[in-house]
């Protein structure tokens, strides 16, 4: 009985975590990902042409210049992950788009010897019924609890 109750509680709390809500958007309209444990470094993911562009932003959402930071990116499933080529430009990191419905997993390091911070999101391009934006850039307000 306790096992069934535990499974039921776990299933219910998992469903709550999957409730629909918007994502944090950056100053350029992109999706914000946390690249630090204390919210002092963020990445803003936008699309330019056929590539993801990831700009670094500080706690006040102001641009941060690239110096010794690094980014590794993978996609695909757990059994067959695919490493993506990551390039840089004056504004941040550049990497290829992933396929619709795939996860983009990013490992950011603030310095060569820094600890990697992992951020991820599903590249879901389906239109949100509420705000009409692609789901990965949903503008809907979080549901009130």
Task: Assess if residue 62 is contained within a domain.
Answer: yes
> Tens digit of pLDDT for each residue in 8-53?
444 443 333 344 567 899 999 999 999 999 999 999 999 999 999 9
Task: Assess if residue 93 is contained within a domain.
Answer: yes
- Domain enclosing residue 133, as ranges: 23-137
What CATH number is given to the structural domain containing 66? Answer: 2.60.40.1080
Task: Assess if residue 37 is contained within a domain.
Answer: yes
> Tens digit of pLDDT for each residue in 46-81?
999 999 999 999 999 999 999 999 999 999 888 889
Task: Assess if residue 143 is contained within a domain.
Answer: no
| Overall domain count for the chain | 1
From 27, 109, 22, select the one nearest 61 (Cα to Cα).
27
Task: Assess if residue 9 is contained within a domain.
Answer: no
Q: Which residues contact 137 (CB under 8 A, 6 or more apart)?
A: 23, 25, 29, 30, 31
**Residue with structure tokens 């290829």?**
96
Task: Assess if residue 14 is contained within a domain.
Answer: no
Residue 51 CB burial class (10 angstroms; 0-12, 13-18, ≥19): middle
């Amino acid at each position: 009985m306790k096992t069934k109750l535990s499974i039921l509680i776990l299933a219910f709390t998992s469903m709550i975590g999957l409730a629909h809500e918007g994502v944090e958007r950056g100053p350029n309209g992109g999706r914000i990902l946390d690249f630090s444990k204390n919210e002092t470094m963020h990445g803003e993911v936008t699309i330019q042409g056929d590539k993801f562009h990831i700009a670094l932003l500080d706690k006040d959402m102001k641009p941060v210049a690239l110096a010794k930071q690094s980014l590794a990116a993978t996609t695909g499933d757990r059994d067959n992950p695919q490493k993506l080529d990551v390039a840089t430009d004056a504004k941040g990191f550049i990497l290829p788009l992933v396929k619709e419905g795939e996860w983009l997993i990013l490992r950011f390091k603030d310095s060569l010897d820094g600890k990697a911070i992992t951020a991820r999101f599903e590249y879901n391009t389906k239109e949100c019924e509420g705000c009409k934006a692609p789901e990965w850039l949903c503008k809907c307000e979080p549901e009130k609890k």
